[in-house]
A and B are shown apart, each in its own frame.
Chain A
């Protein structure tokens, strides 16, 4: 799978809906911003993960559901949920 900005947002909403058990229609997109990340884990490494130390570009996607904000990060090949229950998660790679 290869992401662009729109498909990354769509996939992030699907993931969040299933994680917190809400309808996708109830999830708002707060912002989508282009960002340079320090490495290829998009600055959000999962436990035990090692990543290439190359500056990489992608998007930071902020969603809101039930008055809580959730941060996703994506690039062409991956989608991550940042600091959800104190842990970074690889959603798609």
Chain B
């Protein structure tokens, strides 16, 4: 090798080393960019994000990112700005979950990947694939037709279905479109099951009503008649009447029949209305008389009955309690706790005094038990109903409860309002979840209901999860 060649080889070597060093640095830069830690997030952002121009029909790709709890809101703000993204929404019910818009020309999957790589900061990230069955503006014409076709398969033929805004609110009678529990989309997955028993603890139920008769529980032959140590044997063919200690829970008031219809008026039978469940087993438990009120003792007797039947093999999963008072009862609390120990969810009305249950407790909704859900009422405009109690610590969820059409005595139908009417919407969705996941336990069932909601600003500071019940989301396991 001559002197000239040596310099050529040294020059080539230097270039190779330089390229290698540059490549390594680039990898470091990439690495430090794609997987930052909290310490890597700058205190300030030098420049504002630059938005890419998009056409009117082109939406910004959105991703849902759940950050680790130790990452603060300020750090998330800086991190998204650093990535030239923008926080679109903070989803309070699943804190700290953020909907983030990309302002570059990236796909949603690419943006999700970018956040997934930040393992020290992010628990998960996923594209927000919007699926809306009743908003064609968000879908292509082909998708829209497909969704309409899907929904048409589960639109019940009950003639009054169009008036049931709680199940599908398309703005009828001046309401706000989509201010509903998204029942149609839920029914694509399940319409309920006759294996699930929901006890309606109330004024009884008109078990002969044309829209309920096929969904009323009756004691199967292999379950022995109810026997109470003090009260003796009761032939509980259709449930239990604690007011008269009999096996005839016929409703003389109408309130219990209304609640039963919301949970499970037979769907798609060409009659009247449909319940949240097309098929379910309603167990009528009567403790309130013709006037619509009853005693604590009889309420406890009826709960004891439900617990006994559960132990005997009846699949009681939910008790609907559309009643209450401001008087605390340790005995009632203990009875509800015992129901929880048997895997029974207890869903209770928050009350109708327009008052704050955090300050002025209402029972049984205020019992701090792991199987109790307290329910506030919404109107057809997604506003908290003027009568509804609230309480950011003690009222857990809101559901439609004003101008609710349902079954009434003697094959009639009637609109009624109250947290009484909001409660069975939640009980109904609970039954749908159990139909879809029969082995779900009471804790997970409660958690699922409370975490599957549409967040509403009007409920912030009023209801614990600030959300409206959503049946469709609740069925996404």
Which residue of chain A lies nearest to B299 when distances are taken between CB atoms in the complex? A50
Task: Give the interface segment out of A4-12, A23-31, A53-61, A64-72.
Answer: A53-61
Which residue of chain B lies nearest to A55 when distances are taken between CB atoms in the complex? B417
* A49 located at the interface, meaning its Cβ lies under 8 Å from any Cβ of chain B in the complex: yes
Q: Is the CB of B420 within 8 A of A52?
A: yes
Which residues of B lie under 8 Å from residue A87 when comparing CB positions? Answer: none
Which residue of chain A lies nearest to B332 when distances are taken between CB atoms in the complex? A50
Q: Which of B38-68 contact A (CB under 8 A)?
A: none
Which residues of A lie under 8 Å from residue B324 when comparing CB positions? Answer: 50-51, 53
B447 CB, min distance to chain A CBs, angstroms: 25
* B445 located at the interface, meaning its Cβ lies under 8 Å from any Cβ of chain A in the complex: no
Q: Which of A33-77 contact B (CB under 8 A)?
A: 38-41, 43, 45, 47-56, 75, 77
Which residues of A lie under 8 Å from residue B352 when comparing CB positions? Answer: 38-39, 53-55
The verdict on A40 contacting B291 (CB below 8 Å), with A52-B420, A54-B255, A54-B417 known, is yes
The verdict on A38 contacting B353 (CB below 8 Å), with A50-B299, A55-B416 known, is yes
Tell me the bound Cα distance from A51 to B351 in angstroms.
10
The verdict on A49 contacting B290 (CB below 8 Å), with A38-B353, A54-B417, A55-B418 known, is no
By size class, the interface of chain A is: 20 to 34
* A83 located at the interface, meaning its Cβ lies under 8 Å from any Cβ of chain B in the complex: no
Tell me the bound Cα distance from A54 to B351 in angstroms.
9
Contact partner of A53 (CB less than 8 A), chosen from B287, B291, B295, B418, is: B418
A3 CB, min distance to chain B CBs, angstroms: 11
Q: Is the CB of B418 within 8 A of A51?
A: no
Tell me the bound Cα distance from A77 to B324 in angstroms.
19
The verdict on A38 contacting B253 (CB below 8 Å), with A51-B288, A52-B202, A52-B203 known, is no
Tell me the bound Cα distance from A39 to B299 in angstroms.
17
* B137 located at the interface, meaning its Cβ lies under 8 Å from any Cβ of chain A in the complex: no
Which residue of chain A lies nearest to B421 when distances are taken between CB atoms in the complex? A54
Q: Is the CB of B292 within 8 A of A56?
A: yes
Which residues of A lie under 8 Å from residue B291 when comparing CB positions? Answer: 40, 75, 77-78, 90, 93
Which residue of chain B lies nearest to A37 when distances are taken between CB atoms in the complex? B352
The 6 closest A-B pairs by CB, nearest first: A40-B292, A38-B352, A54-B418, A51-B293, A53-B349, A52-B292
In the assembled complex, 21 residue pairs joining A and B whose CB atoms fall closer than 8 Å, in A order, are A38-B387, A38-B418, A39-B352, A39-B418, A41-B292, A48-B327, A49-B293, A50-B324, A50-B325, A51-B323, A51-B325, A52-B288, A52-B292, A52-B418, A53-B419, A54-B322, A54-B418, A55-B387, A55-B418, A77-B290, A93-B291
Question: Which residues of B pack against A, CB within 8 Å?
Answer: 202-203, 253, 255, 258, 287-297, 299, 322-327, 329, 349-354, 387, 416-421, 423
